[in-house]
């Protein structure tokens, strides 16, 4: 049998039937409130961010400190062991220089680029960290391995979210020698 051989039944509707009230209709506003259960590990992580601290979980079997924390180790599939506080410093693992806003619109010619980066947090295991923004740094000065520190919102403004950290900034400003080297490199690129 072919699809066109099936009789689907039902009653065809015309817009005039609906307008005349010959068809029962209902109208309602759905309640589309969204809720997210953050669980024990992320709940504690967010609470600690509100207090200006970064916390992780240890796995004794794998000898790892995991950030963001989880209640089980995804490598050995056993419950993680205990909470541990980490520093609010780290190194840039990878980064991107974006001339596009989050809504996919172009940034203005006088707007600095956005610089999202994966930050490996000091005190956590290698490769463990968070995706966040870099600021207070010239894009030409960023490199993998750059030491950075969290810049926090004022305590009264924190809400218990990752945005309680405003951004990460370099621990040290570039030296005069580094600035001079960068200036020479830019001049060389312009001549090419």
What's the gap between Cα 4 and its chain centre?
A: 50
Q: 0.75 exceeded by the pTM? A: no
**46/175: higher pLDDT:** 46
What's the gap between Cα 171 and its chain centre?
A: 21
Least confident piece of the model among 36-40, 63-67, 108-112? 36-40
Sort 124 into a burial class: Cβ within 10 Å, 0-12 / 13-18 / 19+.
buried
Q: If you average pLDDT over every residue of the chain, what do you get? A: 88
Output the DSSP codes for 75-97.
Answer: TT-SB---EEEE-SEEEEEEE--
Q: pLDDT by residue (tens digit) across 143-162?
A: 999 999 999 999 999 999 99
**Local structure of residue 114 (DSSP, 8 states):** B
Own/partner long-range contacts of 64-67 (Cβ < 8 Å, ≥24 apart): 64/125, 64/128, 65/123, 65/124, 65/125, 65/128, 66/124, 66/125, 66/128, 67/121, 67/124, 67/128, 67/129, 67/130
Banded model confidence at residue 34, pLDDT cuts 50, 70, 90: confident
Ranges of each domain in the chain = 36-183
């Amino acid at each position: 049998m072919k699809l066109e051989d099936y009789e689907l039944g039902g009653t065809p509707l015309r817009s005039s039937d609906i307008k005349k009230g010959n068809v029962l209709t209902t109208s309602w506003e759905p309640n589309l409130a969204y809720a997210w259960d953050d669980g024990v590990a992320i709940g504690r992580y967010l609470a600690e961010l509100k207090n200006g601290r970064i916390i992780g979980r240890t796995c004794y079997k794998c000898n790892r400190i995991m950030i963001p924390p989880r209640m089980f180790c995804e490598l050995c599939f056993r419950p993680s062991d205990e909470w541990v506080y980490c520093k609010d410093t780290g190194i840039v693992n990878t980064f991107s220089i974006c001339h596009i806003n989050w809504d996919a619109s172009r940034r203005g010619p006088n707007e600095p680029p956005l610089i999202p980066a994966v930050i490996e947090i000091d005190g956590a295991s290698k490769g463990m960290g968070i995706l966040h923004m870099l600021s207070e740094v010239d894009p030409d000065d960023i490199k993998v391995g750059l030491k950075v520190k969290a810049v926090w919102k004022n305590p009264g403004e924190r809400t218990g979210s990752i945005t309680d950290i405003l951004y990460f900034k370099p621990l040290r400003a570039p030296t005069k020698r580094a600035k001079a080297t960068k200036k020479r490199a830019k001049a060389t690129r312009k001549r090419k």
